[in-house]
């Protein structure tokens, strides 16, 4: 029988740079693939409007996440927040949504790796490389977290650099030599305001996952400093990168082609007809996908581990490897799920389920922030970071997340129904079966007894 | 067989190799081979 490690605590080794790398490393891939489906939904102009609108959502989300994350004393991000603020059923759902958000994202990353390798030769098969990417990165995570995040810093930096290289290759600064032709290649707003609404979901792809920085709160040397500094600089990096990406690709590739592309930045590099740039963007896309999948495997397994440690799911998933001290059973359990979705080859469907899960988490996060401030007003509890202009950020998150879910109806209503059904069935399983095994003594940490009594209780 | 044809098989081989690494390590954990390393 495998014994649960009662000393299941993760070592504190991470600083702001690691938090930045984890956040940006997971998300930067969104510049290299997936975001361009905004053009299919809303046209070129709808795409950049969706990009900036969703950027506002994420600024607000980071603010509220970071405040709550700096108070909650353990790993698990929004899951841990839900534990303390909403109770076991909500926590179970948030944990499940986070896991699926990251598992779908890593599947999408692997899909793109397989597809881009096919551009090398018609004889290349995508499937072995999809599986190899996931297996290799899972093995890396199985062996240890610090090494994988150090690797992510390097991969992320190189991938971001390739976007900058492509930008300067276009000579955008020269009116006579610029390769960009936005006037001819973009298609404005072909579907009007409804197109922008439909595009919002894929606008999330520029930033989805940056909230994962909160998952490593327990592993930070100084949570009050590393978390806000790493997360906010990460978001700024992404907003700049997203705008540059839209600018370059829309100026080099026609909207009708860009709307369907599996790798828009790589297609933009091909449009320059410069072999060295094509090779650089090939490498950038690969590295971004691998860095993202790497971070997702880390995030998803830690969320699953947290749920098991809290007895929301079977405790065998909380066992740490005796030598590597990683949540190895959680890591291995999630691997076949991402492989299964990787097999489908349906990039937009896989992305949509990831985004759907994330949006539900964001809605619950905004609700939790409102409840948190009511229960613990400023000054009643020690906070490492204080979100400004409350409740405006929470309201913005609620409105924009709701609008994005509504926009998902246009073309992906089946995904909406399937997603809601899945989480409903999972909740029923938890309520009528799993809740009997819930151990409230381990569900919340004893440190919570040091918190003051909430207002109104 | 072309270079990329061979590379497909190399990729499949690496996949199998990593799976074997996982299986071997899990067997070692179950047997308690790592207990003395704590």
**pLDDT, tens digit (0-9, with 9 covering 90-100), for A311-322:** 899 999 999 999
Q: Give the pLDDT score at A449.
A: 66
Give the three-class secondary structure for A322. Answer: coil
Q: Give the pLDDT score at A162.
A: 93
Q: Give the pLDDT score at A2.
A: 35
Q: Give the pLDDT score at A4.
A: 39
Greater model confidence, A189 or A218? A189
Residue A91 has pLDDT above 70, yes or no: yes
Distance between CA A306 and CA A294 in Å, rounded? 19
- Using pLDDT thresholds of 50, 70 and 90, give the confidence band for residue A151: confident
Contact of B7 with chain A, judged by CB distance below 8 Å, is answered with: yes
**DSSP letter string, A187-218:** ---TTHHHHHHHHHHHHGGGTTTGGGGGGGGG
Instruction: Give yes or no for a cis peptide into A34 (omega within 30° of 0).
Output: no
Distance between CA A98 and CA A85 in Å, rounded? 17
Residue A224 has pLDDT above 70, yes or no: no
Contact of B36 with chain A, judged by CB distance below 8 Å, is answered with: no
| Cα-based distances in Å from A229 to A21, A148, A212 | 12, 21, 14
Contact of B31 with chain A, judged by CB distance below 8 Å, is answered with: no
Q: Give the pLDDT score at A345.
A: 77
Q: Give the pLDDT score at A5.
A: 41
Distance between CA A331 and CA A308 in Å, rounded? 12
**DSSP letter string, A109-165:** HHHHHHHHHGGG-TT--HHHHHHHHHHHHHHHHHH-HHHHHHHHHHHHHHHHHHHHH
The C-alpha of A273 sits at a distance from chain B's nearest C-alpha, in angstroms, of: 24
CA angle A368/A214/A302 to nearest 5° reads 105
> What's chain B's Rg over C-alpha atoms?
16
Query: Which chain B positions have a beta carbon within 8 Å of A328's beta carbon?
Result: 29
Q: Give the pLDDT score at A228.
A: 74
**A125/B8 touch (CB, cutoff 8 Å), yes or no:** yes
Q: Give the pLDDT score at A1.
A: 32
Distance between CA A127 and CA A209 in Å, rounded? 25
Domains and CATH numbers, chain A: 17-450 (1.20.1740.10)
Query: Which chain B positions have a beta carbon within 8 Å of A2's beta carbon?
Result: 30
Strand partners, A14: A220
The residues in A 167-206 lying below 8 A from B, measured between CB atoms, are none
Residue A243 has pLDDT above 80, yes or no: yes
Please list, residue by residue across A25-56, b when 16 or more beta carbons sit within 10 angstroms of its beta carbon and e when fewer do. Answer: bbbbbbbbbbbbbbbbbbbbbbbbbbbebbbe
Q: Which residue of B has its CA nearest to A321?
A: B29
Backbone angles phi, psi at A6, to 5 degrees: -70, -15
Backbone angles phi, psi at A14, to 5 degrees: -100, 140
Q: Give the pLDDT score at B20.
A: 97
| Cα-based distances in Å from B1 to A112, A127, A209 | 26, 19, 42
Out of A7-11, A194-198, A399-403, pick the least confident: A7-11
Query: Which chain A positions have a beta carbon within 8 Å of B11's beta carbon?
Result: 125, 128-129, 131-132
Backbone angles phi, psi at A220, to 5 degrees: -85, 140
Average pLDDT of the residues of chain A: 87
Q: Give the pLDDT score at A328.
A: 93
The C-alpha of B20 sits at a distance from chain A's nearest C-alpha, in angstroms, of: 11
The residues in A 107-126 lying below 8 A from B, measured between CB atoms, are 120-121, 123-125
Q: Give the pLDDT score at A347.
A: 85
Contact of B8 with chain A, judged by CB distance below 8 Å, is answered with: yes
**Each residue's pLDDT tens digit, A397-446:** 999 999 999 998 878 888 889 999 999 999 999 999 988 888 877 777 66
Q: How many CB atoms lie within 10 A of CB A207?
A: 27
Q: How many CB pairs under 8 A join A and B?
A: 47
Contact of B37 with chain A, judged by CB distance below 8 Å, is answered with: yes
Instruction: Give the torsion through C-alpha atoms of A129, A411, A407, A424, to 10 deg.
Output: -80
The C-alpha of B28 sits at a distance from chain A's nearest C-alpha, in angstroms, of: 10
Residue B18 has pLDDT above 90, yes or no: yes
Greater model confidence, A214 or A107? A107
Share of chain A above pLDDT 90, in %: 50
Distance between CA B4 and CA B2 in Å, rounded? 6
The C-alpha of B22 sits at a distance from chain A's nearest C-alpha, in angstroms, of: 8
Can you read off the two tokens belonging to residue A102? Answer: 């990251």
Question: Average pLDDT of A163-171?
Answer: 93
Q: Give the pLDDT score at A261.
A: 92
Backbone angles phi, psi at A44, to 5 degrees: -60, -45
Question: Average pLDDT of A201-210?
Answer: 89
Q: Give the pLDDT score at A439.
A: 80
Question: Average pLDDT of A225-234?
Answer: 77
- Using pLDDT thresholds of 50, 70 and 90, give the confidence band for residue A251: very high
| Cα-based distances in Å from A183 to A12, A49, A171, A263 | 51, 17, 16, 22
The C-alpha of B1 sits at a distance from chain A's nearest C-alpha, in angstroms, of: 10
Note the pTM of the prediction, 2 decimals: 0.88
Q: Give the pLDDT score at A3.
A: 36
Interface mutation vs chain A, best among B1, B6, B13, B15, most A CBs within 10 Å: B15
């Amino acid at each position: 029988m495998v014994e649960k490690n009662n000393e299941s605590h993760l070592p504190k080794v991470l600083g702001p740079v690691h938090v930045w790398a984890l956040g940006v490393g997971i998300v930067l891939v969104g510049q290299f693939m997936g975001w361009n489906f905004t053009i299919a939904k809303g046209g070129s102009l709808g795409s950049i409007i969706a990009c900036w609108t969703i950027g506002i959502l994420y600024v607000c989300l980071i603010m509220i996440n970071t405040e709550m994350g700096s108070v909650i004393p353990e790993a698990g991000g929004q899951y841990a927040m839900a534990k303390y603020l909403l109770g076991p059923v909500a926590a179970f759902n948030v944990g499940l949504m986070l896991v699926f958000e990251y598992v779908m994202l890593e599947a999408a990353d692997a899909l793109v790796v397989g597809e881009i390798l096919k551009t090398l030769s018609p004889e290349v098969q995508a499937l072995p490389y999809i599986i190899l990417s996931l297996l290799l990165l899972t093995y890396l995570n199985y062996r240890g977290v610090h090494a994988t995040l150090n690797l992510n810093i390097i991969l992320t930096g190189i991938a971001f650099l390739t976007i900058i290289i492509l930008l300067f290759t276009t000579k955008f600064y020269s009116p006579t030599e610029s390769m960009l032709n936005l006037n001819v290649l973009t298609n404005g707003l072909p579907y009007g305001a409804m197109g922008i609404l439909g595009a919002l979901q894929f606008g999330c792809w520029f930033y989805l996952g940056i909230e994962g920085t909160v998952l490593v709160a327990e592993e930070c040397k100084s949570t009050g400093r590393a978390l806000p500094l790493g997360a906010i600089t990460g978001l700024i990096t992404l907003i700049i990168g997203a705008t540059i990406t839209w600018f370059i690709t829309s100026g080099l590739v026609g909207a009708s082609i860009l709307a369907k592309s599996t790798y828009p930045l790589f297609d933009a590099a091909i449009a320059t007809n410069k072999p060295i740039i094509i090779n650089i963007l090939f490498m950038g896309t690969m590295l971004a996908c691998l860095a993202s999948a790497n971070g997702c495997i880390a995030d998803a397994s830690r969320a699953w581990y947290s749920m098991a440690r809290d007895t929301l799911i079977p405790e065998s998933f909380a066992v740490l490897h005796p030598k590597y001290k990683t949540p190895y059973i959680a890591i291995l359990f999630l691997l076949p799920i991402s492989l299964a979705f990787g097999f489908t080859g349906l990039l937009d469907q896989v992305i949509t389920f990831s985004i759907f899960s994330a949006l539900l988490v964001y809605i619950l996060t905004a609700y939790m922030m409102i409840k948190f401030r009511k229960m613990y007003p400023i000054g009643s509890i020690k906070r490492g970071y204080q979100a400004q202009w409350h409740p405006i950020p929470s309201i913005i998150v609620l409105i924009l997340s709701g609008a994005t879910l509504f926009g998902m109806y246009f073309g992906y209503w089946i995904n909406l129904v399937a997603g809601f059904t899945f989480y409903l069935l999972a909740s029923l399983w938890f309520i009528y079966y799993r809740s009997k095994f819930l151990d409230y003594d381990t569900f919340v940490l004893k440190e919570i007894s040091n918190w003051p009594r909430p207002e109104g209780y | 067989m072309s270079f990329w044809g061979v590379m497909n098989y190399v990729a499949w081989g690496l996949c199998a190799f990593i799976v074997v690494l996982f299986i071997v390590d899990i067997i070692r954990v179950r047997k308690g081979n790592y207990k003395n390393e704590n």
